[in-house]
Amino acid sequence: MQTDIAALLSNTAPILPVIKVEKAEHILPIANALAEGGIKGLEITLRTTAGIKAIELVKKAGLDVVLSAGTVTRPEHVDALADIGVDFAVTPGLTPDVLERAQRKGVQLLPGIATPSEVMTGLAYDLRFFKLFPASIVGGIGMLKALGGPFPDLKFCPTGGLNLENFRDYLSLPNVFCIGGSWMMAFQGGEPDTSEITRLAAEATGLLG
């Protein structure tokens, strides 16, 4: 049974930054800059070889953040995350092999879905929280409203195409518990622009009211 992932994020802004790092050592300055701007949740993606090491660095540093791993696509990703320990793992899609490995390993999963059929597959595994991805491509707000009809008790984290101009429209929906986005990730010369990351994070959290 999936735990209440919304509760995990209750002490931070309902914004889950999607973070891709080319160098693992960049993650601590990024995490600290986000926290200074009011965002203490991280989705560190496995899109690069630095992803796992970056997650390990955050874990070892003992930062007061909600730590999640993104772009989890293979069972062996789940194995590595179980050894490290994360609050939850995020997938771009939903497959039985990853779901079953996560349940066996005790790794909480926020699986990506794009169709009602995928939601129903998740229900068969007692899941109640999902990531809608890629949100802007698969119908966005209209899709979330439509899913609320047959699945009134489910909650979603839309990710993909969200930005400063539209994220509050998503958060206003009753079946959205958080949103994912990468627009606050700023780099300059290949290095994290921490002052800009803090500014963008604070700009977003300042709009939450």
- DSSP symbols for 75-140: HHHHHHHHHH--SEEE-SS--HHHHHHHHHHT--EE-EE-SHHHHHHHHHTT--EEEETTTTTTTH
43 labelled catalytic: yes
Residue with the two structure tokens 């595994």: 125
Options 23, 131, 145, 191, the catalytic residue:
131
Cα 44 versus chain centre, distance:
8
Please classify residue 6 by burial: count the beta carbons closer than 10 Å to its beta carbon, then call 0-12 exposed, 13-18 middle and 19+ buried: middle
Which of 77, 11, 74, 67 lies closest to 44, judged by CA?
A: 67
- Among 43, 155, 191, 203, the active-site one is 43
Does the active-site annotation cover 145? no
Catalytic residues: 43, 131
